[in-house]
Amino acid sequence: MSVSKIKKYNNDVLLDVLNLSVTFELKNASVKAVDNISFKIKRGEFLAVVGESGCGKSVSALSILKLLPPKIAKIESTHLIFDGVDISNWTTSQLREIRGKRISMIFQEPMTSLNPVLTIGDQITEPLITHLKLTANEAQNRAIELMSMVGIPEPENRLNQYPHQFSGGMRQRVMIAIGLACEPDLIIADEPTTALDVTIQAQILELLKDISKRLGIAVIMITHNLGVVAAYADNVNVMYAACIIETGSSNDIFKNPSHPYTIGLLRSVPRLDKSREGKLATIYGLPPNLMNPPSGCRFAERCPIYEKQCDNSPALIDNVTSKNAKVACWKTDFAKVTGAKMYASNKKTKKSVPDVNATPILTVNNLKQHFNISLRSGWFTSKSGKVKAVDDVSFSILPGETVGLVGESGCGKTSVGRSILHLNNPTNGDINFQNISMNKDSIALVRRDMQVIFQDPFSSLNPRMTIGKILEEPLIVHKIINDKASRLKRVNELLEQVGLYTYMADRYPHELSGGQRQRVGIARALAMEPKLIICDEPVSALDVSVQAQIINLLEDLQAELGISYLFIAHDLAVVRHISHKVIVMYLGKIMEVADEKSLYSKPQHPYTKALLDAAPVPDPEIEKNRKRTILKGELPSPLNPPPGCVFSTRCPEYTKECSKLTPPLVKFTDEHFVSCIKVKEFNA
């Protein structure tokens, strides 16, 4: 049966989902990944589904088109009405007719979602040929049209290229082109920009929004990024532990959140547009295990306003105060009154301030880290290129200071960290740590005082060692504590210091959650009682509420022990929250350095401005009035950086002089340095 032939009884509602549940039948357990959720989406609506990892947001989206493995996943629903037809009982071969034609999907990983052995053109034309019965020629012309619509330059030539010849952002554009090919009624986008840099994210989301509005396509966007929700969504579903716990317009959710979880989630995100007001709110504990979910309210265990009543499961009912909003909480009224206070109890501590007159603990002078890369190897001619991952970078860190290092992927921020640690030997430049110039010989002396926390808390812990062994190892290697008993005592101390339980010493890394593993990473660094910790994206793999816990922990440790941090991250809001001083890097060079306040309130460099502009803020009102100037293009190849100012190719303020000379880092105010020849002009 074809959908178009059936009379449409309701033109307004495009998709009506009632009581959708998805159960994964595993070998020795069954997990209800989506539990009885209902929602509707209208034509042309932009609906966001937010929640932390494992809350069931992706699974619910995939279950609409039954794209889950059929043997494991059991999908049940009362009805699933798409454009007037109940598709809940459709077989996969019936669903195939609407997949890609009337409902299409865009996935998270642009790197792996395209077939590596087929050309881009082939992959875009496939749905056109299958669904619209176009001839190969017609389909190709349409593909070229689509590619230029999504902003892929030279579509005629790129049609015959393969995915590996495209950048991540460009691949996601290809995915969007595939999604748009048959002009569907609904696009389901599953974390479409999570893997992308913030300037590319802005490009992709603007494109998606613009096209969907123009063609009247409804969009369900799954995301964990609250800023993205505020900037683009009309309506929001908040999911927690397989259930929808609150739903409403974007304004309702951000202005008047009613569920304690939503309130907590919003309070635990650092804000890009505001200076630090105090510590971040954190939600206690972890989401429940879905193999054995609690019988009552699933948030009860973590809820600050828990009462006996909450042991019964609350229904998703109309929220009294806001129109069209619904919430699943017994104590909505109370939650509203208490609001933010719920999470703010005696947490208003100030950031510790470093002594400005102290001697810096770390001074980096003219650091260069160049890599030789073989481009082509032939018999008699081989060509190698030089990547200047870090090119002439200088900065210093005071005792007890946090210096944030931001930039998009490929800007060299991680290389800076690795060079300081001498994990890569610097090509050139001087690194001075505690008044010792670091080189191959002195590194052993200073390494104890300089530790590192890595991004991926799982792969950076040896899976075959217990947590206790992992923490004990550095104590043995550096001969810090020589007898076993006191070593174990120290391990317990460390575990408590980072908010873990001492019994966890016997556990293996896979038995801990992501946040707990990152705490182990911090404990391992602390074991050496370091003076400086290099944090390389320590929170980017973590969920928002856990991220807040880790950030608070790092701040507490700094206040207590006076440790300095070099905090490398791509999330501008997190960096603003935790740092005293911020360095912005682009293609191996420093663009701007300033204290946190002046960098975020008075950014001078066009790149800093663009970065701040691209990052959405979790406040729909601010987002509505915001006019974005979106950075065009992508990061140029580091093998062949542009002459003069490295940012010149993407700079909105570009003039001819920018290609002629490399701008030095000049003083703007006492604490503010900018590398742009036009800074004076901006302020004239």
Partner 1 sequence: MLKYAFNRILLMIPTLIAVAIIVFLVLRVVPGDIVELKLTAEGGEVSMEQIEAEKKRLGLNDPLHIQFYNYMIGIPQGDLGISLWTEKPVAEEIGSRIGLSFQLAIFSTILAVLLAFPLGTLSALFRGTFLDYVIRIITIGGIAVPAFWLGMLLIMLVLSFGKLPPLGTVSFFVDPLTNFNQMIWPAISVGYRYTSVVARMLRSSILEVLSEDYIRTARAKGLYERVVIVKHGMRNALLPTVTVIGLEFAFLLGGLVVTESVFNLNGIGKLFIDSVIRNDLNLLQGLVLTVATAFVLVNLIVDLCYAALDPRIRYQS
Dist CA 611 CA 602 (whole Å): 13
Q: Which is nearer to partner 1, 178 or 328 (CB)?
A: 178
What tokens were used for 532?
């400086």
- Coil, strand or helix at 612: helix
Residue 120, interface with partner 1 (CB under 8 A)?
no
Residue 15, interface with partner 1 (CB under 8 A)?
no
Q: Which is nearer to partner 1, 109 or 493 (CB)?
A: 109
Near partner 1 in 307-346, by CB under 8 A: none
- Coil, strand or helix at 568: strand
Dist CA 549 CA 284 (whole Å): 9
Among 98, 189, 329, 450, binds partner 1 (CB under 8 A): 98
Residue 104, interface with partner 1 (CB under 8 A)?
yes
In contact, 568 and 413? CB cutoff 8 Å: yes
Among 19, 38, 53, 130, binds partner 1 (CB under 8 A): 130
Q: Which is nearer to partner 1, 114 or 452 (CB)?
A: 114
End-to-end CA distance of the chain: 68
Q: Which is nearer to partner 1, 109 or 449 (CB)?
A: 109
Among 116, 441, 479, 670, binds partner 1 (CB under 8 A): 116
Q: Which stretch binds partner 1 (CB under 8 A): 6-14, 44-52, 103-111, 462-470?
A: 103-111
Q: Which is nearer to partner 1, 160 or 275 (CB)?
A: 160
Among 127, 227, 457, 616, binds partner 1 (CB under 8 A): 127
Dist CA 305 CA 326 (whole Å): 19
Q: Where are the alpha helices (DSSP H) in 353-466?
A: 413-420, 443-446
In contact, 86 and 159? CB cutoff 8 Å: no
- Coil, strand or helix at 622: helix
Q: Which is nearer to partner 1, 67 or 286 (CB)?
A: 67
Near partner 1 in 360-399, by CB under 8 A: 378-379
Residue 118, interface with partner 1 (CB under 8 A)?
yes
Near partner 1 in 156-195, by CB under 8 A: 162, 164-165, 175, 178
In contact, 186 and 219? CB cutoff 8 Å: yes
Query: Rounded to the nearest 5 degrees, what angle is found at the Cα of 212, between the Cα atoms of 188 and 218?
Result: 45
Residue 101, interface with partner 1 (CB under 8 A)?
yes
Dist CA 204 CA 207 (whole Å): 5
Among 32, 99, 524, 605, binds partner 1 (CB under 8 A): 99
HSE at residue 554, side-chain half, CA atoms within 13 A, is: 32
Calculate helix-pair angle for 606-614, 198-215, nearest 10 degrees. 50
In contact, 243 and 298? CB cutoff 8 Å: yes
Near partner 1 in 426-455, by CB under 8 A: none
Q: Which stretch binds partner 1 (CB under 8 A): 99-107, 306-314, 362-370, 498-506?
A: 99-107
Near partner 1 in 60-89, by CB under 8 A: 65, 67, 71
In contact, 412 and 399? CB cutoff 8 Å: no
**Chain positions contacting partner 1, by CB under 8 A:** 65, 67, 71, 92-93, 96-101, 104-105, 107, 109, 112-119, 126-127, 130-131, 162, 164-165, 175, 178, 378-379
